[in-house]
Amino acid sequence: MTRAPAIVLSVVVALGASLATSCSRKPASAAALKPTAFGAAIVESSGGKQIAQTGGLLPQPVIVQVNDEQGTAVTGALVDFSGPAGVSFDPASALTDSSGQVTTNVSLGGMAGRYKVTASTIDKAHKTVEITLDEIALGYSQTLGRQLNEQYCERCHNPESTVERVSNYDNLEVKPHPFTEGDTYNKISDADLTAIISHGGPALNKSALMPAWGNTLSKSEIQALISYIRAVSDPPIRNAGPVYAKN
């Protein structure tokens, strides 16, 4: 008899749950694709190691290619994309085109961090072969850091020129390190980064070509820059925060 409330409750919960599921309208899933060919390997053509804002689209689509044993592109192989919760693909699966490629637009999940996204295909033996790409989602402070980087730092620290501006990197007698260079930045503590950004190169016995920004940028802006540097470093620093992967 004492179980009565639990029974009553479970009935209520079950009713509620069924109501909830019947109300949540799932989008109709696309008709299943049938592969017309099978490859032996799947490789990245482009789109790995990109940076987006949380929940946002990667700036470039992800393109993967399916090859056979000889390394020739296979047309009509089925490629499925998958990733951790919150990551979405448009399309989530497709057949390779005449150059053996599939292109998908990827939106990352709602939390800042590194995301592993997987592209897989089935080979002739019905075994799954897959490739995993790393992508980065920036939260608020990293996005702010990225904007500050573009405004103040990038022209020295990024060797690549853009359409708008020529990089100053080659003109510097002492070369700064691009912020993606994890091997360098992962060895510098947050405190040291703060010191060199605030007080300039000489603060860490480095070149005065690295100016002091402590009177130009606020403490929280410098913090934002550091969180950006930590977010984009490759390889990632230890304790960089969670990595989101499938399951």
Partner 1 sequence: MKEILKSFWQKLFGDSVRAFGVVSLVFLASLAIAPAKNFFSEWRHYQHGYLRMIRNRSDANTLQRHFQGGIQQIWLPELGVTDRCTSCHVGLKEAGLTDVGTQPFRKHPAIPHAIDQFGCTVCHRGQGAATTVAEAHNSTLAWEQPILPAKYIESSCGECHRGSVPGTPQLTQGRQLLSRYGCVHCHTVKRPDGSTMKPTDDPPSLSHIADKTSREWVYAWLKDPQAYATTATMPNFKLSDDDARDMSAFLIANSTPLPGDTATLTAKPASDPAAGPSLYGESFCASCHAVQNAAGNLVGGDVGPELTRVGSKVKPEWLQAWLRSPRVYDAETAMPHYRFSDPQVATLSGFLLAKADSDLLANVHLDAATPQQIAHGKRLVSDYGCASCHEIAGIKKPENFAPELSRIGSKPVTQLIFLPGMPHTLPDYIAGKIKQPRAFSPGLKMPQYSFGPAQIDALTTALLALNDRASTLPPSLTVPAVPESSYEPAGKAGKLMSDLACFSCHRINGHGGTMAPDLTWEGSSVQRQWLVEFLKNPNTLRPSLIRRMPRFNLTDGEVKELTDYMMTVYQSPSVDRDSMLLSGYTPGQIELGKQLFYGKYSCQGCHIVDTKTDKGYIGPTLTHVGSRLTAAWIFEWMKNPQALRPGTAEPNRAMSDGDARALTAFLISQKGGAKQEVAKK
Which residues contact ligand HEC by CB under 6 A?
A: 152-153, 156-157, 172, 174, 176-177, 193, 196-197, 201, 206-207, 209-211, 213, 225
- Sign, Cα dihedral of 107, 111, 114, 116: negative
225 binds, among partner 1, ligand HEC, none (CB under 5 to 8 A by kind): ligand HEC
**In this structure, are residues 177 and 153 in contact, taking their beta carbons and an 8 Å threshold?**
no
Find the shortest distance in angstroms from Cβ 183 to ligand HEC: 11
Could you say which of 35, 48, 91, 211 contacts partner 1 (CB under 8 A)? 211
* Cα 76–chain centre separation: 28
What gap in Å lies between CA 220 and CA 125, rounded to an integer? 55
The encoded tokens of residue 77 equal: 């192989």
Find the shortest distance in angstroms from Cβ 95 to partner 1: 21
Residue whose entry in the numeric block shows the structure tokens 């402070």:
141
What binding mask, one character per residue, do residues 176-195 give for partner 1 by CB under 8 A, x or -?
--------------------
- Considering the rule CB under 8 A, would residue 160 count as an interface residue with partner 1? no
Question: 10 Å Cβ neighbour count for 146?
Answer: 22
> Residues with Cβ < 8 Å from 80, sequence gap 6 or more?
92, 93, 119, 120, 121
Residue among 17 and 69 whose Cβ is closer to partner 1: 17
Decide: residue 68, CB within 10 A, 0-12 exposed, 13-18 middle, 19+ buried.
Answer: middle
193 binds, among ligand HEC, partner 1, none (CB under 5 to 8 A by kind): ligand HEC
Q: Which stretch binds partner 1 (CB under 8 A): 2-10, 42-50, 74-82, 91-99?
A: 2-10
62 CB-side CA count, 13 A = 37
Q: Which residues bind partner 1 (CB under 8 A)?
A: 1, 4-6, 8-9, 20, 23-25, 27-28, 53-57, 59, 86, 90, 105, 107, 109-113, 139-141, 143-144, 147, 151-152, 155-156, 161, 163-168, 170-172, 201, 207-209, 211-216, 220, 223-224, 227, 239, 241-244
